[in-house]
Amino acid sequence: MNLRDIKKDIEYVIGAFIDDCSLFSALNQKADDEALGGLFDEAVKLYNDLRDKVNAKVEGKKSAYFAGIRKELLEKTDAMYQKLSELIKATAKSDEK
């Protein structure tokens, strides 16, 4: 795995999450805009943090360092998707009433 691939993965995974949030917002007029805005902010912050870590000068074992970044990307993105899922479920329940 090289540095270019990690940068592309960060761009793709977080970009896909933002696209999913945008799609939910566009398709659902009753979406909680404040909560959705918080998810957007969280995604942008994660993107900036990970890009800063990738661009930092690494001393020692680079492969372990970048594996940690990849793991952090997946764990934090999964947590954001869980929050989006809960928001979608809450919106669906309010639509049923």
Q: Are 80 and 43 in contact (CB under 8 A)?
A: yes
Between residues 50 and 29, the one the model is more confident about:
50
**Domain count of the chain?**
1
The closest of 36, 22, 53, 45 to 90, measured between CA atoms, is 36
Q: Are 86 and 39 in contact (CB under 8 A)?
A: no
Answer yes or no: is 97 within a domain: no
State the pTM of this model. Answer: 0.89
**Domain region containing 62:** 3-91
pLDDT tens digits along 39-93: 999 999 999 999 999 999 988 899 999 999 999 999 999 999 999 999 999 888 8
pLDDT computed for residue 97 by the predictor:
60
Amino acid (one-letter) located at 57: K
pLDDT tens digits along 8-20: 999 999 999 999 9
The closest of 55, 32, 44, 31 to 80, measured between CA atoms, is 44
Answer yes or no: is 11 within a domain: yes
